[in-house]
Chains A and B, each alone.
Chain A
């Protein structure tokens, strides 16, 4: 499906002169400022799916990351290496695996989640979980043993000491969550393969940009692109903010 779109892009797009691109940019801004209903709807859906995926991934990865960090077991290094390898998991690979799981003949086919926002949430959760878990482990590892020693020597129980360490690592852990959100929002492979880019149902910013560009509606694509970049910028600024360097 991605290949078809790319072929469509080549076929439909003619090279536009700069003034046309500038005019497209102006139109794009107009669409945003006028709160075009379709633009708003696609943006809201993108945010809802990405936020839901991030919340679910946070619920799974933060405790699991903590469990891996705070317990020593055989093969721990290998597990961490595997998680780090999965950081760069291609979105189309996740899309393919989840597609096979959710397709009618797949093990989860009876749930009827293929080409639904729910299916997209599952795919995006799987996609962003490794990076969020890996960064959670890295965040906790960044807190020195002295913090644990201080907490324990002041009378903390094991659980209290763990919460103290997690609180000390909260900025880095929040950055992990925001990075996961950014990846969920900007990915296209899972959204396209699992969502199917159905208008008014599973169409999100990235899949809409791919489709509208292939159709030649550059103004609309640019409007969505500006929104996507703006959200990414806000997320990036938030990451820097929580890490204490606002404009760094």
Chain B
């Protein structure tokens, strides 16, 4: 589905990603875990084609989307991202959710029906006319999820999407991600919640110091860590 080949990212002289390579398969849910500052957000942003890598290539469905603006735009229209801090537009919930449809030229009753269905899916039926700025953090994140999925993307990217949320809202979002994955959507999520990665992901990549130090199934990562640093990280975080 999407592939990063030897991707480097540098910010202010520091190397954030160091030649990272990763191939995401169509239909899988892949979690990126790693300590704070390991480069998870930078990597997710590169996969979402928001930022270009300083070196290396990114391929979407076999097409090189590293530099070509047209190819990047076309690929971006086939994916969606939910950020750690939901950024709502200062309009109604309905207009927030329908944004992706409207910029693709959609209008009328079709949009209203799809928005209604998307809000129902995230448990926010009846919120259409609410001002997005009046929502709580959890509600805003669920609206962000509805907004990302209403365009029916092929790839969903989640950057710490359940961080800072109450357990109930986090569970609702997790359920939704699970269902989306079961329905065949490709999901790449970064998380610091190792249990969540275990629950949701088919494969987990461990990112430490800008390097992908291990990639494998949850079982492999947690029960057969490939190195001491992976073992230290997963054991410290999962409290084993």
Contacts and interface: CB of A to CB of B under 8 A. Distances in A.
A156 B87 CA distance: 15
Contacts of A144: 87
Contacts of B89: 147, 150, 164, 167-168
B124 to A, nearest CB: 18
B99 A151 contact: yes
B87 A147 contact: yes
Interface residues on B, range: 20 to 34
B76 A153 contact: yes
A154 B151 contact: yes
Contacts of A146: 83, 85, 87
A157 interface: yes
B100 interface: yes
Contacts of A155: 76-77, 80, 100, 103-104, 151
A167 B79 CA distance: 24
A154 B73 contact: no
A152 B79 CA distance: 11
Contacts of B83: 146, 149-150, 153
Contacts of A150: 83, 87, 89, 144
Interface string A222-246: 0000000000000000000000000
Contact of B80 (A153, A160, A168): A153
A174 to B, nearest CB: 13
A151 B95 CA distance: 13
Interface in B78-133: 79-81, 83, 85, 87, 89-90, 99-100, 103-104
Interface residues on A, range: 10 to 19
A168 B87 CA distance: 12
B99 A154 contact: yes
B160 interface: no
Nearest to A156: B103
Interface centre among B50, B87, B99, B100 (most CB of A within 10 A): B87
A160 B76 CA distance: 14
A192 B5 CA distance: 68
Interface in B45-92: 48, 50, 73, 76-77, 79-81, 83, 85, 87, 89-90
B147 interface: yes
Contacts of A149: 50, 83, 87
Interface in A187-231: none
The 9 closest A-B CB pairs, nearest first, are A146-B87, A153-B81, A155-B77, A154-B100, A150-B87, A160-B103, A156-B103, A153-B48, A155-B100
Given A147-B89, A153-B76, A167-B89, 13 more contacts: A151-B103, A152-B76, A153-B79, A153-B80, A153-B148, A154-B99, A154-B103, A154-B147, A155-B76, A155-B77, A155-B100, A156-B103, A157-B103
13 contacts: A146-B83, A149-B50, A149-B83, A149-B87, A150-B83, A152-B50, A154-B103, A154-B148, A154-B151, A155-B104, A156-B103, A164-B89, A168-B90
